[in-house]
Amino acid sequence: VQSWRETMEINVEAVRANAVEAAQRMIKAGKGGSIINLASILSFGVGRSNGAYSVSKAAVMQLTKVFGFEFARYGIRANALAPGYFSTEMNADWLAGGGAEMMKHIPMRRFGNEGELDGALLLLAAPRAGSYITGVTYAV
């Protein structure tokens, strides 16, 4: 129960609080803006032995939809990135072990590298290129 609560606090409540704070500042400035939340490929499905994580990231996806709707009237867009399996320091041990098996199920047969999120991030952040995109979660 404790790890469930901690996961929800970190992955849902912190995202909610940060997005609301950012929106309040943007509203006060009167210039609109873009909020980008970090979801996960597991926002769309479930992985083994990480139910709380999957639920929390699905909640981020839903929060993003709500924020996209609620903040639009202030010229604020809210979207999320949902990275698939990317190589990071945090998952290095897993990738070295069971991750090799997972790679067989990834269409590109490899894990993503952090620079490969740049294009989607720039699209969502750009005031012109992404100006009509809100409430969307992009899987990368």
Catalogue the active-site residues: 53
Reference 84, options 103, 65, 111, 62; nearest CA is: 111
In sequence order, what E strands does 67-111 have?
76-82
Please provide the distance, in angstroms rounded to a whole number, between the alpha carbons at the two ends of the chain: 31
CA 36/CA 61 separation, integer angstroms: 11
Residue 103 token pair: 């790679």
Residue 109 token pair: 């047969």
Residue 54 token pair: 């999957």
